Structure 1
Amino acid sequence: MREVFQLELEEVQDRLVAISELVSISIDNATQAFNNSNVALAERVIEDDHRIDELAIALDELAINILARQQPVARDLRIVVSALRISASLERMGDMAEHIAQLARYRFPEKAVPKGLRSTFAEMGRLDVEIARKLTDLLRTEDVKLAEEIRNEDDKVDELHVSVFDKVLGETWKGEPVATVDATLASRYHERFADHAVSIAKKVQYLATGDWQQPLEA
């Protein structure tokens, strides 16, 4: 029974990695669609989000089934419960990517972001893609150094998020109301995407080290 249980835990980890890989692809496509006004990529992200949702639901069902049958304790219990929480965060990250893609689709053939903010959003998108890739590696390897790197990248996203608000609230801002709303929403989606990654990284770090009090914040 113990061997079967360990195989089930490995399957949980493999499924988390698979979902994270899809999220990474989704945010990459979403940022490209948003920054380049690529409606085909935007549609792909929107259409593919249901796949992330389905895999997250299936993983939750597996985890709940393990809890019911195996009644794990100690670290094994933390692994299964954490998997449920990580799955939910990954699903939300997929939603953030979908929201970014929806903005691109709504404004096509125009770009959703005014020219003065395009470099900022290009950098936010690059950082989110990098965070997503590192998160996949973290889930695969439990290398806690990656958790710290994700937190550092998130700090950069936060700084850019603040700069967007400073820009649209500044006296020199000439954007139309629609552009202001789009920029504000897009910045928030990028920022929340990274925040969810940090939340996952914190959980993986705890599982790997047993120490919740690390210099890593959600």
Structure 2
Amino acid sequence: MIISKFYYLRKNLYSMAELVLEQVIMLGDALENDDYALANEIVDRDDMIDELEKENDNLSQIAILEAITNRNILGMGDVDNEIVLKKDPLRFALSAIRITRNMERMGDQVVNCAEVFRYKTIRPGIFKKEEPMGLILSRVTTLAGMAVESLVEEKERFMGSVNTIEDELNGLCDEAFKKYRESEMNKTEFADVYRIILALERLGDYAVNVAEELVRLNTGKDIRHLENAKPPKV
């Protein structure tokens, strides 16, 4: 019974991740091609992500209870720490809750962008012809792809690259904000461009959260906020 629960949890988690990545790719296409019908489709598809989130939450809670009561049956009491880290169903179920939350928030940011874009207040071509907006879309898609691939493989191998791309994304978002703040955009257009920039930056942050959770799942190390914890240089 417990094996089937974890099978369905993994299956749903992967389905949710792939659906979120599809939404990110569709968003890039909608923005770059000024495709407002596609933006509407992105918004409509968000219900599928929400349903998977609910299913994953329920499956995770059931899996946690079953893992606690069946740890000895699964042999988790007599194995070395490395196997426990990578094979412990309780650890996976707890991580699945955190990953599900971050995936759902990634989906929310995609929808936030699509909803703003379909107002048609932003001039055509800005996301395809102007830098740094095109670069921002590229970095966001790459981060989402790395997070999903790492999740499906249950590995943390992209972590270094993820941090590098996140830094690039943050710099590009700052650059874009300054560029359009100093441009001749009217207030409504600038406000909507800024909302999209902010949502894309947050989308990248949630993708990084998924990658960080995979490090914790595979190694037991919590690497969040490590830079802030470093002592100041003298």
The corresponding residue for 1:18 is: 15
Query: Aligned partners of 1:60, 1:147: CA distance in 2, in Å?
Result: 26
RMSD: 2.6
Q: Superposed, which structure 2 residues align to 1:70-109 within 5 Å?
A: 70-71=67-68, 75-107=88-120
Structure 1 match to 2:134 = 122
Partner of 1:58: 55
Instruction: Tell me which residue corresponds to 2:74.
Output: none
Per-residue deviation, 1:118: 2.9
Question: Cα distance 1:6–1:185, how it changes in 2: closer, same or farther (>3 A)?
Answer: same
Q: Residue 151 and residue 53 in structure 1: after superposition, are their counterparts in 2 closer, same or farther (change >3 A)?
A: same
Q: In the alignment, which of 121, 127, 144 is matched to residue 132 of structure 1? A: 144
- Corresponding residue for 1:68? 65
Report the equivalent of 1:205: 215
Q: Which deviates more, 29-38 or 104-113?
A: 104-113
Give the TM-score normalised by structure 2.
0.81
Q: CA separation in 2, counterparts of 1:151 and 1:187?
A: 19
Looking at structure 2, the residues matched to 42 and 9 of structure 1 have their Cα atoms a distance apart, in angstroms, of 34
Q: What whole-Å deviation, never above 9, does each CA across 1:107-149 have from its counterpart, x for those lacking one?
A: 179538489x833221111111111111111001122222222
- With over 3 angstroms needed to count, the CA separation of the structure-2 counterparts of 1:217 and 1:40, relative to structure 1, is farther
User: CA separation in 2, counterparts of 1:83 and 1:62?
Assistant: 9
Whether the 8 Å CA contact 1:5–1:70 is kept in 2: the answer is yes
Contact 1:38–1:104 (Cα < 8 Å) also in 2: no
Distance 1:114 1:36, change over 3 A: closer
**Any conservation in 1 of the 2:31–2:127 contact (CA below 8 Å)?**
no
8 Å contact kept, 2:33–2:125: no
SS of 2:124 mapped into structure 1: coil
Gaps of 5+ in 1: none
TM-score w.r.t. structure 1 length?
0.86
Segments of structure 2 that go 5 or more residues without pairing to the other structure are 72-83, 229-234
1:148/1:216 contact within 8 Å kept? no
- 1:22 to 1:14, Cα distance in 2 relative to 1, 3 A: same
CA deviation digits over 1:172-207, x for unaligned, max 9?
A: x21111121012111101100000011111111111
| Conserved 8 A contact 1:112-1:182 | no
Q: Deviations over 1:23-59 (max 9, x none)?
A: 1110111122123210121011011111011011111
Identity %: 24
Give, as a single letter, the amino acid of the residue that structure 2 aligns with 1:21: E
For 2:46, the aligned partner's letter is D
Q: Helix, strand or coil for the counterpart of 1:107?
A: coil
**What is the CA–CA distance in structure 1 between the aligned matches of 2:216 and 2:127, rounded to whole Å?**
41
What is the aligned length?
212
Higher-Rg structure is: 2
Q: Does 1:190 align with 2:200?
A: yes
**Using a 3 Å threshold, how does the CA distance of structure 1 residues 5 and 181 change in structure 2: closer, same or farther?**
same
Determine if contact 1:31/1:100 at 8 Å carries over to the other structure. no
Return the letter of the residue paired with 2:163.
R
In 1, the alpha carbon distance for the partners of 2:224 and 2:177 equals 30
